Chains A and B, each alone.
Chain A
């Protein structure tokens, strides 16, 4: 059988180079656009927690024209750390519920991603805190981190205790109970229980 001669088409040496360049160019443009989109999504996403006032204050004080006393800066750093511990504890508390809810499809992808971003943010925050602590005193960091938890929990306790007075006023108002000058109560419609029992 006679073999038919295949026609040979000559192409320029630049053709594969142009092809590869176009492919790489398209990939680079896609990658840039994709990253920009992701970054835009990340910055426009509502954060999981409210604004971190303690952190904002620390940076405001550190970058102030008139440098505050070092004790003020250390106090601001402790406040920033305590806020970080508070958020980390909350995230740890939420993790099992968030996992279950996400796997059951009860929460949106958006909330799940916000939650995961918050976890990463707090991890980075702890690393930054460690670096900042070393600026004030070398070796302080090992003692600094446990103190943050004490500060965070003591602040929460003080807040709860300080809210007692308002809570009492709110409850009496809600229930329509008035307090006489001698401290006795005027009840709206009921005769209260006469037993003045105490706990022994």
Chain B
């Protein structure tokens, strides 16, 4: 076998002898893709159509998460959404990106709200941050990130997020309202409150 790799013919698993971070990541991605190819039973992947079976299973998990949200069982909702995300991440890598992206956006929006309602603001913040990367054109995502920052005591960062949101969504009532709140809290923190 080659110098930087070792191959197990039984498991079809490739291992890295080079332990640099990039190399290990690449080997993991290769093994993941090999697993997808073998499990698909295809000679070669030819289209990116998402698996209907997996879509149905994921939808079931999302529905149960929505029910839990309605019952205010936020911990259960978070658990179900995380399981749904894990299930979605097992989709074949060549399945349509747009489908996988929209799925993840939906899951993260739901999970961010569940985190906020259960006062897990740090978790909500990182989810909202990723949401903003994926969909900057949704005012609610700026609100999600800003509110999480406010609750973590990061008023200045929250103000920046609300202001940035207002650049995309001029005059949005909720963003204006929360920007005023963040400015008031900054003033209070600086001892300038009236």
Contacts and interface: CB of A to CB of B under 8 A. Distances in A.
Interface of A: 50-51, 53-54, 56-57, 60-61, 63-66, 68-69, 71-72, 74-76, 78-79, 136-137, 140, 143-144, 146-147, 149-151, 153-155, 157-158, 160-161, 164, 167-168, 171-172, 175, 177, 179, 183-185, 187, 190-193, 195-199
Nearest to A50: B22
B83 to A, nearest CB: 14
21 contacts: A57-B4, A60-B3, A61-B2, A64-B7, A68-B12, A74-B37, A75-B30, A75-B34, A78-B94, A151-B94, A157-B100, A161-B104, A168-B122, A183-B119, A187-B153, A191-B153, A192-B152, A196-B116, A196-B151, A197-B147, A198-B117
A160 B2 contact: no
A54 B23 CA distance: 9
Contacts of A191: 153
Contacts of A68: 7, 9, 12, 14
B104 A157 contact: yes
A13 to B, nearest CB: 62
Contacts of A151: 33, 93-94
A175 B152 contact: yes
Contacts of B125: 168, 171
A185 B122 contact: yes
A123 to B, nearest CB: 23
Contacts, number: 173
Given A68-B9, A74-B44, A161-B89, A198 B29 contact: no
Contact of B7 (A66, A161, A187): A66
B29 A79 contact: yes
Contact of A140 (B12, B46, B116, B130): B46
Interface of B: 1-5, 7, 9, 12, 14, 22-23, 26-27, 29-30, 33-34, 36-38, 43-48, 85, 89, 91, 93-97, 100-101, 104, 112-113, 116-123, 125-127, 129-130, 133, 140, 143-144, 147, 150-155, 174, 178, 181, 185, 189
Given A183-B119, A191-B153, A79 B2 contact: no
Contacts of A136: 44
Contacts of A157: 97, 100-101, 104
Contacts of B4: 56-57, 60
